[in-house]
Amino acid sequence: MSDLIEELLAGKHRALARVISKIEDRSPGYRELVSQLHEHTGNATVVGITGSPGAGKSTLVDKMAETYRERGETVGVIAIDPSSPFSGGAVLGDRIRMASNVGDMDVFFRSMSARGTLGGLSTATTDAVKALDAFGKDRIIIETVGAGQNEVDIVGTADTVAVLVPPSSGDDVQMLKAGILEIGDVFVVNKADLDGADRTVQELKEMVHMRDASPLAGTAGHHGVETDAVGEEDEDETDDGDDDTWTPPIVETVAKTGEGVEPFLDTLADHRAWLETSGELTEQRRDRYEEEIRRLLREGAGELIREEIERQGGLDRYVDTIVAKETDPYAVTEELLAPLRESVRE
């Protein structure tokens, strides 16, 4: 394990791939690996790319990586794919992606399974990001499954979340009201060369204003500088002097040609700078670690209970009594948890 960590920290991509494989497979000792990596993290900028299927996420991520490399920065990409109901692995894991960066060792690409999680991100994704961060990647991009309203888990891992919206009749924009609107730090109207792009941009602007005018305004961290669709500040709607909030800008891109990618990356950099100067980055990380502890506790406690149930012969006899109406699921759960609760109280 120590040799593997040393090789990863020395910049050996094979070691990085092996560590991420151990993390994804939950191999024996993976927790110790992640623990040793922790002190070497905190330097990379983590960007989440989410949005509905067909919005062009993969193409945009490809162009983002290419542009970052042109700027001399190293890139790590984690593409979350739907998981197989049989193996748990990534269904689309072998698809051809990152066509512009094939052969570039400074772009590390990994396709990972969603592992059935509703938000499209598994605990393994967070740990893999730590591995890429400790390795020394400057930019880490997470591309989510694109399953719709369950994409909100990305906020627990990414510093900045960009939501892609394709030009449309308005249906995709309306869908954002139900959840994803609240998590977007930047909105991207991709395929902006298609009809309906201007309308989509306007609808997004209106929805952002509605959100900021709501009683929950400011809870997601937004800053009052409205940016135009090309990523430049709108002179008609300028900063009101409050640097503690961030209003998500709307950027237009044509990912397949690379048009608008440079302004998009500049907007991501602006958000990162705001996170640092406002102190939001520190608060964000505190919240993230708190939630990570809670998640790991749930996983650990669940595993402990599963092991004890198996030691006692499994759930079959309990299920039999429930089917026979001799007891019920709540009573069985209380019976199984009682020894654990007693031990904790002692």
Q: How many CB atoms lie within 10 A of CB 230?
A: 16
- Say how far apart CA 36 and CA 51 lie, in whole Å: 34
Over residues 323-327, mean pLDDT: 96
Residue whose tokens read 């906020």: 155
157 secondary structure, DSSP code: T
Which two three-digit tokens encode residue 26?
Answer: 């939950």
Give the CATH architecture of domain 42-280.
Answer: 3-Layer(aba) Sandwich (3.40)
Say yes or no to pLDDT of 84 above 50: no
pLDDT confidence band for 340 (50 / 70 / 90) = confident
Q: Where are the domains of the chain?
A: 42-280, 294-345
Say yes or no to pLDDT of 104 above 50: yes
The pLDDT value recorded for residue 144 is 86
- Please state, rounded to an integer, the average pLDDT across all residues of the chain: 81
Q: What percent of the chain clears pLDDT 90, i.e. is strictly above it? A: 45
Which two three-digit tokens encode residue 184?
Answer: 């977007």
Over residues 173-179, mean pLDDT: 60
Residue type, 274: W
Q: Beta-strand (E) ranges in 166-314?
A: 186-189, 250-252
Q: How many CB atoms lie within 10 A of CB 157?
A: 24
- Say how far apart CA 285 and CA 159 lie, in whole Å: 9
Across the beta sheet with 250-252, the strand order is 107-113, 75-81, 139-143, 45-51, 160-165, 186-189, 250-252
pLDDT confidence band for 227 (50 / 70 / 90) = very low
Q: Rounded to two decimals, what is the model's pTM?
A: 0.82
Say yes or no to pLDDT of 228 above 60: no
CB 51 within 8 A of CB 165: yes
CB 166 within 8 A of CB 55: yes
H helices of 82-227, where? 123-135, 171-176, 197-212
92 conformational bin, left if phi > 0, alpha if psi -120 to 50, beta if neither: alpha
pLDDT confidence band for 204 (50 / 70 / 90) = confident
The pLDDT value recorded for residue 82 is 63
